[in-house]
């Protein structure tokens, strides 16, 4: 991120998204800020323009609504200045699985999986044709930790990780950089919106520290950045075990342990 460009950031009015906006503005990037809260977006945009002398556009949108999502897709397809997409918008899961309604499930999955996929799909052809561009998908360590008990939320974040890995295989050879950022608990408003008091949690990372670490991973061109992980080799071992598993599942016959004994 050493040359000036334009980044579109979803969920940009607060938390991780707003902090990305601050950090990228400090680096001299122009911005397109996307979120539901028009007043907060406008206030953030004014401050960033004044403090960092960058161009900041505001695009009010609720990404669970088809018309709003389509408008952001169109901006990504048509605005050739945008060469960074930060897929940050998301929501947490309130209560357990059996307490969910059809509507809450639909909204969570739409925002956490459908929206980032469609936005990436909107911009990827242009990036691939230009042999440049970056897509950053904000996931979560919950995506590989069902023990944390947020089954639907964790499943959506597992999707984000898989999507990022798959996009990397397809798009990296075309010059497009993909990054999956996997935070652990981070001090943002997402907890309050889920009805959880963040002050009851332990080991919660400051959002500024999270984004700063994610940007270090960006600059290093990491595929998977896990800011709270101190021993990087543990991720390497997990991914290595996954790849080793692949070598054993391409078989024409069932494993011996599944053959009925006479």
* Angle of CA points 105, 123, 112, to nearest 5°: 15
Cα–Cα distance list, 156 to 62, 236, 237 (Å):
18, 22, 23
Look-up: residue for tokens 């809450």? 104
Helical spans, DSSP H, in 172-206 = 190-193
23 C-beta neighbours (distance < 10 Å), count:
16
Strand arrangement, sheet containing 177-181: 56-60, 30-35, 6-10, 82-87, 134-138, 177-181, 224-225
Q: Which of 113, 85, 91, 67 is nearest to 10 (CA)?
A: 85
Structure tokens at 37: 């809260």
Query: Looking at 20, 153, 177, 258, which residue is catalytic?
Result: 153
Active site residue 153: yes
DSSP label at residue 261:
P
Would you name the residues annotated as active-site residues? 153
């Amino acid at each position: 991120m050493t040359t000036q460009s334009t980044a579109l950031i979803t969920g940009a009015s607060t938390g991780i998204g707003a902090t990305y906006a601050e950090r990228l503005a400090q680096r001299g990037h122009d911005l397109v800020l996307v979120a539901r809260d028009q007043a907060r977006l406008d206030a953030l945009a004014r401050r960033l323009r004044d403090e960092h002398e960058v161009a900041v556009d505001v695009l009010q949108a609720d990404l669970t609504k088809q018309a709003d999502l389509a408008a952001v897709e169109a901006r990504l397809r048509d605005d050739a200045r945008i060469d960074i997409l930060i897929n940050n918008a998301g929501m947490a899961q309130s209560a357990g699985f059996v307490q969910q309604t059809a509507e809450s499930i639909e909204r969570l999955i739409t925002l956490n999986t459908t929206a980032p996929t469609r936005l990436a799909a909107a911009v990827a052809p242009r990036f691939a044709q230009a042999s440049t561009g970056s897509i950053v998908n904000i996931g979560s360590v919950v995506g590989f930790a069902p023990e944390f008990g947020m089954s639907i939320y964790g499943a959506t974040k597992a999707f984000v990780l898989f999507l990022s890995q798959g996009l990397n295989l397809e798009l990296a050879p075309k010059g497009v950089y993909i990054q999956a950022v996997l935070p652990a608990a981070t001090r943002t408003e997402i907890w309050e919106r889920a009805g959880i008091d963040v002050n009851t949690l332990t080991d919660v990372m400051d959002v500024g520290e999270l984004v700063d670490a994610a940007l270090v991973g960006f600059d290093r061109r990491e595929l998977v950045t896990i800011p709270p992980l101190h021993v990087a080799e543990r991720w390497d071992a997990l991914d290595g075990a996954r790849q080793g598993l692949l070598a054993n599942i391409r078989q024409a016959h069932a494993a011996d342990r599944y053959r009925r004994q006479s």
